[in-house]
Amino acid sequence: MSNLTLSGLFVYPVKGARGIALDRARAQSLGIEHDRRFMIVDPDGEFLTQREHPEIALIETAIEGDALVLHAKGHGPLRLPLRPEGPTDRRVRVWSDKCRAVFVGDEAAAYLSDYLGRRAELVYMPEEAARRVDGRYVSRKERVGFADGFPYLLTTEGSLADLNARLREAVPMDRFRPNLVVRGAPPWSEDAWTTLSVGSIVFHLRKPCSRCNVITVDQATGARGKDPLATLATFRARANRVYFGWNMVAEGEGELCVGDAVTLLARSYDEVG
């Protein structure tokens, strides 16, 4: 395939909250710089996401210099340090992983608790506290922040177009919360990709991304429906899981820019659907 390009680049500073579209970004081993380094947790350290709290989708995020700015619907903006300092003594859980984090502070906890209508806190993962990626798919050296399991998620415009052709109402790409979006590929051709480069960065596709009810949440309103999950389940299911997009790890670090050439370096023929 030729003429593949990077058409979208996104960072999600707070796990579950609204992402930020970028023109350029720094690719690091943990993911896009600042990606999912913050997370909302309950008093027991269990992570809170759109799965149970779709209103988290309405928490806007922005990066302004050395500050992270949150703006929850119906609330004023809250400015926080982008790299909070403090002891990594807050024990939190992401799925089955227990990890250490920095408690961001009482002001952020009060802000989120008031917005969500329940006790909540904001925590930060410094680089030294990062989790290991599942060793079934990568070497033990690969690490990740608060993302579900991998540092990067890739989707393609072609696959979304094919899905939307099957839906009563089309959905935008933000339903799937990718980091990288590729233009110019036939629908679902990414199922056969194993290694590609974006600009000067090499990525390895390790696992198709199984989807949950987060993709049924309208990211602009917080409303939940049945699609696109129900429709995806009719043709993109395997072993009781539904797939859209691919989880990746990066080889090296560097800058990514929208418009970068995407070059397919290796492929297999093990299709998902």
pLDDT for residue 270: 56
How many C-beta neighbours within 10 Å does residue 76 have? 8
Q: Once rounded to an integer, what is the mean pLDDT over residues 133-156?
A: 91
Decide if pLDDT at 272 tops 60: no
Residue-wise pLDDT tens digits, 192-216: 999 999 999 999 999 999 999 999 9
Using DSSP's 3-state secondary structure scheme, residue 122 falls into strand
Q: Taking residues 38-63, what's their average pLDDT? A: 97
How confident is the model at residue 253, as a pLDDT?
95
At residue 271, the pLDDT reads 55
Query: What secondary structure does DSSP assign to 49-115, as a single string?
Result: -TTT-GGGGGEEEEEETTEEEEEETTS-EEEEESS--S---EEEEETTEEEEEEE--HHHHHHHHHH
Q: Is the dihedral of CA 139, 90, 101, 123 positive or negative?
A: positive
Q: What is the DSSP letter of 231?
A: H
Do 208 and 243 touch, CB atoms closer than 8 A?
yes
CA atoms within 13 A on the CB side of 5: 6
Q: State pLDDT tens for residues 120-138.
A: 999 999 988 889 998 888 8
Q: Is residue 273 within 8 Å of residue 243, measured between CB atoms?
A: yes
Flag whether pLDDT at 236 surpasses 70.
yes
User: Is residue 97 within 8 Å of 104, Cβ to Cβ?
Assistant: no
Confidence band, pLDDT 50/70/90 cuts, at residue 141: confident
Percent of the chain with pLDDT over 90: 92
